[in-house]
């Protein structure tokens, strides 16, 4: 049996584990990081992520004339968090984060070599209740991949690096106790199954969420607002974030809460080169697309991204088949179609300014053509009847109603033709609102038929 000893054991080498280890090294503690994955995946899911970070009072906000404060951010947070009477710690977290994120996240990251986009994004503006009243989503120049690489480098080069041990291929399965207290954790090597134990004064569990693995936990904790879990759920999470250690924490007497408050998206397509079961890509839904249900009927009220992501999931899950379609032309696709994460944003990931500007100004041809050529969930045609035929072929029946879809398209196009002063269509009104913010204007078509 392999045995490790240090002041603190950190389970998981994603961003959470890395940040915990950095703080511990700063405090002069010895640290053991244990991770199931291989060294090439050190950094966890962040390496695949987009790298948007909620910050209050940043220089980027000030440069863009955005007035923000911790009190305003906290008021926004409390409005959409729907805190219950028992939510003491979530409320404390909201207070701590809004009050401290400028110095302890934003300035700390900047001091560690992280740069941000000059214009913050305005996400989750709120729909039924108030959301973010100003743009606060700051995109890391280099995506989450750069974030992970910079923090790993800082860990490796830390003045106390001699006090750090990182062991990959180590799957933790449970905790050990001594006199009724947690004294360590135990598990087995992924390769060969040799058992190990690790002991410390404290054990930090940073093994990710519950949305990975075989999605059993996602189905188990599916939020009541979303009816029953859909037949097919795509997965963008870490393949080892399977909730195994959540169960172990529960067995050890830990308090597990809010497992149904998971972050899911309404729009995803299948990855054509999957690296995990049901590997999905998170589509940033084009705002100028017509969002229709499995029968080709437009949602009413229309669905538009940027306001309330949870509500989009609620609306799609309320339909019989719990999936949807987005209807768009090539012009909309070039300007608005995006896939979240590092993999499909190479100009941002690799920090290529010219390529990024080219995509912004002339449209992301590479992405659109890659999706058309490879993704089985993307269908294209020159006419609406031909498109509907392809949609139905993909669904395996004739559920998409050409007449209903044709009518929705004609009505919308007629509204566009009226011009902004006479819009009655809710989607067009929302597009007009979004386009008032320059960060959205540059990524949203000017009322496209
Ligand atoms: C496409 C995409 C875009 C995203 N964009 C954003 C964004 O813009 N902004 C944002 O805030 N978030 C974003 N995210 C989410 C973000 O990447 C994650 O929330 C974050 O990286 C999670 O970090 P973590 O350290 O908590 O967990 P993870 O990165 O999942 O790390 C957990 C680690 O624990 C290890 N582990 C698990 N179980 C065990 C075990 N039993 N024993 C040992 N080790 C174990 C795993 O191998 C893994 O290395 C995005 C995610 C994706 C996929």
Residue 161 pLDDT greater than 90, yes or no: yes
What confidence tier does 401 reach under pLDDT thresholds 50, 70, 90? very high
Ligand 1 atom closest to the CA of 54, numbered from 1: 11
Mean pLDDT for 358-365 is 92
Cα(98) to centroid(ligand 1), Å = 22
Span 260-284, pLDDT tens digits: 999 999 999 999 999 999 999 999 9
Which residue has the least CA distance to atom 1 on ligand 1? 341
Which residue of 51, 212, 241 sits with most ligand 1 atoms within 8 Å of its CB, as the best mutation to test the pocket?
A: 241
Cβ < 6 A, ligand 1 pocket = 11-17, 34-37, 44-46, 48-52, 144, 170-172, 206-208, 236, 238, 240-241, 244-245, 282, 340-341
Ligand 1 atom closest to the CA of 207, numbered from 1: 34
Please name each of the domains of the chain with its CATH number: 2-205 (3.50.50.60), 272-441 (3.90.700)
Alpha carbon distance 238, 129 (integer Å): 31
Q: Helix, strand, or coil here: 133?
A: coil
Residue 186 pLDDT greater than 90, yes or no: yes
Neighbours of 324 (CB within 10 A): 19
Cα(204) to centroid(ligand 1), Å = 15
In the chain, DSSP finds a helix count (H) and a strand count (E) of: 17, 15
Percentage of the chain exceeding pLDDT 70: 100
Q: So what's the ipTM on this one?
A: 0.99
User: Positive or negative, the Cα torsion across 416, 418, 420, 424?
Assistant: negative
Whether the CB-CB separation of 390 and 287 falls below 8 Å is answered with: no
Cα(14) to centroid(ligand 1), Å = 6
Mark 206-226 as b/e (b = at least 16 C-beta within 10 Å): bbbbbbbbebebbeebbbeeb
369 upstream amide cis, omega within 30 of 0: no
What pLDDT is stored for residue 65 in this prediction? 97
Cα(282) to centroid(ligand 1), Å = 15
Which residue has the least CA distance to atom 52 on ligand 1? 49
Ligand 1 atom closest to the CA of 170, numbered from 1: 43
Mean pLDDT for 254-263 is 93
**Cα 424 → chain centroid:** 32
Span 65-120, pLDDT tens digits: 999 999 999 999 999 998 999 999 999 999 999 999 999 999 999 998 999 999 99
What pLDDT is stored for residue 310 in this prediction? 95
Whether the CB-CB separation of 15 and 42 falls below 8 Å is answered with: no
Q: Is 406 exposed, middle or buried (0-12, 13-18, 19+ CB in 10 A)?
A: middle
Alpha carbon distance 157, 144 (integer Å): 20
Which residue of 122, 208, 268, 279 sits with most ligand 1 atoms within 8 Å of its CB, as the best mutation to test the pocket?
A: 208
What confidence tier does 440 reach under pLDDT thresholds 50, 70, 90? very high
Residue 343 pLDDT greater than 90, yes or no: yes
User: Positive or negative, the Cα torsion across 55, 60, 62, 65?
Assistant: negative
Residue 353 pLDDT greater than 90, yes or no: yes
Backbone angles phi, psi at 416, to 5 degrees: -60, -40
Nearest Cα neighbor of 297 from 381, 384, 382, 407 is: 407
Alpha carbon distance 268, 96 (integer Å): 33
Cα(292) to centroid(ligand 1), Å = 31
What pLDDT is stored for residue 102 in this prediction? 98
Cα(241) to centroid(ligand 1), Å = 7
With residues binned 3-state (H G I as helix, E B as strand, rest as coil), the percentages for the chain, rounded to 5, are 40, 15, 45
Which residue has the least CA distance to atom 3 on ligand 1? 49
H-run or E-run covering 325: strand 324-327
What pLDDT is stored for residue 384 in this prediction? 98
Alpha carbon distance 119, 121 (integer Å): 7
Q: Which residues pair with 164 in a beta bridge?
A: 31
Nearest Cα neighbor of 237 from 218, 217, 212 is: 212
Mean pLDDT for 350-376 is 95
Mean pLDDT for 381-406 is 97
Query: Mean pLDDT across the chain, nearest whole number?
Result: 96
Which residue of 45, 137, 166 sits with most ligand 1 atoms within 8 Å of its CB, as the best mutation to test the pocket?
A: 45
Residue 49 pLDDT greater than 90, yes or no: yes
Cα(19) to centroid(ligand 1), Å = 13
Q: Helix, strand, or coil here: 314?
A: helix
Name every residue whose Cβ is closer than 8 Å to that of residue 436 and which is 6 or more positions away in sequence.
Answer: none
Mean pLDDT for 349-355 is 96
Alpha carbon distance 95, 92 (integer Å): 5
What pLDDT is stored for residue 213 in this prediction? 87
Which residue has the least CA distance to atom 41 on ligand 1? 172
DSSP string, 223-256: -GGG-SPPS---B-S-TT-SSHHHHHHHHTT---
Whether the CB-CB separation of 289 and 336 falls below 8 Å is answered with: yes
Which one-letter DSSP state was computed for residue 266? S
Alpha carbon distance 189, 132 (integer Å): 44
Token pair in block for residue 116: 């941000």
Cα(449) to centroid(ligand 1), Å = 39
Cα(276) to centroid(ligand 1), Å = 14
What pLDDT is stored for residue 82 in this prediction? 87
Alpha carbon distance 23, 17 (integer Å): 10
Token pair in block for residue 42: 């050190």
């Amino acid at each position: 049996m392999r045995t490790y000893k240090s002041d603190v054991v950190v389970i998981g080498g994603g961003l959470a584990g890395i940040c915990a280890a950095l703080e511990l090294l700063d405090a002069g503690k010895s640290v053991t990081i244990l991770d199931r994955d291989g060294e090439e995946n050190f950094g966890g899911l962040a390496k695949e992520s987009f790298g948007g970070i909620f910050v209050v009072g940043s220089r980027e906000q000030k440069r863009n004339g955005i007035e923000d404060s911790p009190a305003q951010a906290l008021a926004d947070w409390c409005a959409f968090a729907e805190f219950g009477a028992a939510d003491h710690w979530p409320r404390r977290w909201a207070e701590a984060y809004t009050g401290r994120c400028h110095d302890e996240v934003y300035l700390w990251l900047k001091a560690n070599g992280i740069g941000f986009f000059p214009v913050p994004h305005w996400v989750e503006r709120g729909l039924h209740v108030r959301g973010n009243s100003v743009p606060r989503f700051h995109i890391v120049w280099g995506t989450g991949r750069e974030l992970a690489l910079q923090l790993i480098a800082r860990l490796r080069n830390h003045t106390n690096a001699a006090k750090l041990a990182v062991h990959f291929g180590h799957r933790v399965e449970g905790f050990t106790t001594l006199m009724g207290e947690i004294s360590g954790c135990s598990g087995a090597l992924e390769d060969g199954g040799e058992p190990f134990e690790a002991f410390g004064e404290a054990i930090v569990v940073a093994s990710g969420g519950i949305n990975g693995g075989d999605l059993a936990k996602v189905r188990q904790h599916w939020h009541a607002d979303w009816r029953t879990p859909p037949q097919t759920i795509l997965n963008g999470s870490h393949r080892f974030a399977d909730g195994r250690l959540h169960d172990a924490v529960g067995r050890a007497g830990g308090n597990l809460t809010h497992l149904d408050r998971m972050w899911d998206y309404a729009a995803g397509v299948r990855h054509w080169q999957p690296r995990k079961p049901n590997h999905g890509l998170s589509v940033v839904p084009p705002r100028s697309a017509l969002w229709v249900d499995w029968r080709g009927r437009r949602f009413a009220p229309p669905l538009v991204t940027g306001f309330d992501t949870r509500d989009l999931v609620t609306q799609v899950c309320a339909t019989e088949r719990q999936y949807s379609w987005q209807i768009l032309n090539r012009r909309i696709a070039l300007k608005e179609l995006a896939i979240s994460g590092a993999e499909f944003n190479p100009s941002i990931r690799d920090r290529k300014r010219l390529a990024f500007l080219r995509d912004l100004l002339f449209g992301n041809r590479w992405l659109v053509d890659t999706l058309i050529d490879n993704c089985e969930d993307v269908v294209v045609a020159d006419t609406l009847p031909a498109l509907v035929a392809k949609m139905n072929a993909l669904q395996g029946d004739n559920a998409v109603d050409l007449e209903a879809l044709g009518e929705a398209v004609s009505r919308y196009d007629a509204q566009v033709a009226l011009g902004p002063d006479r819009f009655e269509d809710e989607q067009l009104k929302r597009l007009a609102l979004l386009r008032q913010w320059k960060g959205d204007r540059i990524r949203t078509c000017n009322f496209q038929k």
